[in-house]
Amino acid sequence: MLKQARVYNVALFVSVALFLVIWASGLKILEQLGRLPAPPITATNCIDEKFKFLHELDLGQVNMLAVGSSVAWHSVDLRPFKRHYGPGVHPLNAALCFLRMNQIASLTDICRAPAVDVVHINTPIQSHAEQTLKALRAGKHVACTVPMATTVEECRQIVEETERTGLTYMMMETVIYSREFLFVKEMYEKGELGKIQFLRASHQQDMSGWPGYWEGLPPMHYATHCVGPVLALPKAQAEYVSCFGSGRIDDSLVDKYGSPFAIETCHIKTFPVLPGGIEQRTVHIRR
């Protein structure tokens, strides 16, 4: 019986070893023929590619930097940047590949590169303020996806840093460049809408399947798609804001940000800040 067990174990070992040899040989042949399937996109794969790309890049030629977190960083078409800004512009898509800014020394080096003038930040919301301040303090103009920050203090620091350095900061709120908003804006400026008495905006978005940091995010941390257009149309700023929450998200998500609310609603008292801005009005925002 013991002899049969040994024979079985040896046969099993030989079979597994033979399978691995055949499998490895097959992969090697496919690689030599250029027929090896591409590996699945993973964080490790993206990181390895990114480090190799940065290592081989001549940073002296780069003068515009875009920072993102997409695994498809190498698929982004940067030609529109060159067409818009001219032949002297050499943009770089410096996607983070799931890593935070302070984990990539290469990107810190890029921020310090004298040839880089502009940093465009497209990273998780929690990182916006930290990375914006880092870029401004490195002497770079900053364009940052929404929101600017998640606390009043962070917003104040960014404003103070732009005033201190004289650099330009722009929060990249996209809705005010949408065809729908531009259509309404044109109608209003032609006088086809009459006088604005009251403005209301609401934004719903299904975040299922998005990265985990979106789960439980307080609604007003991502309210600019509402606030942007209703302040841009009357050319106004907020003078006074009141906000309250309602509903409740799943209990398992509450501790992530300390906010239980499924919906947040605010009222904004406005005042005109640009020529042609309307007189004081109330804006109702639901998010």
Are residue 143 and residue 81 in the same domain, yes or no? yes
* DSSP classification of residue 126: G
* Cis before 219 (ω within 30): no
Are residue 209 and residue 282 in the same domain, yes or no? yes
Tokens standing for 79?
């030609």
Which of 152, 172, 192 finishes a domain?
A: 172
Does pLDDT of 91 surpass 50? yes
User: Are 252 and 231 in contact, with CB atoms under 8 Å apart?
Assistant: no
Rounded CA gap, 198 and 248, in Å? 28
Burial of 132 (0-12, 13-18, 19+ CB in 10 A): buried
Question: CATH number for the domain including 239?
Answer: 3.30.360.10
Are residue 53 and residue 147 in the same domain, yes or no? yes
Q: Is the dihedral of CA 105, 152, 70, 260 positive or negative?
A: positive
b/e map of 62-84 (b: 16 or more CB within 10 Å)?
Answer: bbbbbbbbebebeeeeeeebeee
- Which pTM does this prediction carry? 0.61
Q: Which residue has the higher pLDDT, 58 or 130?
A: 130
Question: Of 5-19, 24-38, 144-158, 169-183, which one has max mean pLDDT?
Answer: 144-158
Are residue 94 and residue 191 in the same domain, yes or no? no
Are residue 101 and residue 59 in the same domain, yes or no? yes
Are residue 102 and residue 79 in the same domain, yes or no? yes
Domains in the chain, number: 2
Q: Is 18 domain-assigned?
A: no
Does pLDDT of 69 surpass 50? no
Q: Is 163 domain-assigned?
A: yes
What is the average per-residue pLDDT within 170-190? 89
Which of 172, 191, 221 finishes a domain?
A: 172
Tokens standing for 107?
């990107």
End-to-end CA distance of the chain: 73
Are residue 184 and residue 159 in the same domain, yes or no? no
Are residue 182 and residue 275 in the same domain, yes or no? yes
Q: Is 164 domain-assigned?
A: yes
Q: Is 13 domain-assigned?
A: no
User: Are 244 and 219 in contact, with CB atoms under 8 Å apart?
Assistant: no
Domain that holds residue 240: 176-286
Are residue 66 and residue 124 in the same domain, yes or no? yes
Are residue 148 and residue 199 in the same domain, yes or no? no
Which residues is 119 bridged to in the sheet?
A: 65, 142
Question: CATH number for the domain including 157?
Answer: 3.40.50.720
